[in-house]
Amino acid sequence: MRRPLIGITCYHREGVARPRFGVPASYVDAVRAGGGRPVLLPAGDDDPAALLDAVDGVVLCGGGDIDPSRFGGAARHDAIYATCSERDGFELALVQKCLRRGTPTLAICRGLQVLNVALGGDLHVHLPDVVGESVAHRVSREHHTRHLVRIDSSSRLAAVLGAAEVMVASWHHQAIDRLGAGLRAVAWAEDGTVEAVEVESSPAMLAIQWHPELQFHEPDRRQLRLFEELMALARRGA
């Protein structure tokens, strides 16, 4: 069976003497485990559409925060970190192209937020200020945590995962506030935080707030199914 070529977005430029682009190896490993061949898509390319000509699908990965100026948010909050205009501009343009072309896409954590902002939605800039801490969405910048997510049983996501309730790896302090145009919330944490959305006009877009790349190796295989579904969509679209 052909292995689709999957572009994975990178974190922002890091370093001073020798700036570099990078991405956690777990995204690469999860794409391979799902049946794909990963390639990295660093920010800064002025023609995202041309990049999509070269790949069969895209993973919009997590990482630093979207600058609140992109969605009319607060000018500053002490919890905001690692904003990058280059990355924001590139990924907002890239996800718009993915939507227009129907490119199979798995949007993870920040990736879901990029999708929402690209469609005119906005974000809670620091989730604990809004929902409190009854659910631990993030315990630190170094370690993820876990919590339960409820999924709309009629959603495509529930069909892919084969479940209406899952325990997920969580590592975020921002989340969707107002939904972007054409998006439907299909999963929620116990405190009401939106944990997944679907695009009414694009069945090739999977968008979740948690981190399946940290769980793809688990025995029940549910999170691996997200990457396998991306590969199935990519094969059909190629």
Q: Which of 195, 198, 213, 229 is labelled catalytic?
A: 213
**100, burial (CB in 10 Å: exposed 0-12, middle 13-18, buried 19+):** exposed
Q: 167-205 burial, b if ≥16 CB within 10 A, otherwise e?
A: bbbbbbbbbbbebbeebebbbbbebebbbbbbbeebebb
Is 213 an active-site residue? yes
* Residue for token pair 């054409």: 182
Residue 55 tokens, joined: 């790949």
Token digits of residue 110:
């920040």
Residue with tokens 């707030």: 209
Gap between the Cα atoms of 6 and 18, Å rounded:
27
Strands (E), the chain: 5-9, 37-41, 57-60, 105-108, 123-124, 145-151, 165-170, 175-176, 183-189, 194-199, 202-208
Which of 61, 109, 137, 229 is labelled catalytic? 109
Distance CA 144, CA 5 (A): 28
- Whether 10 sits among the annotated catalytic residues: the reply is no
Q: Which residues are catalytic?
A: 109, 211, 213
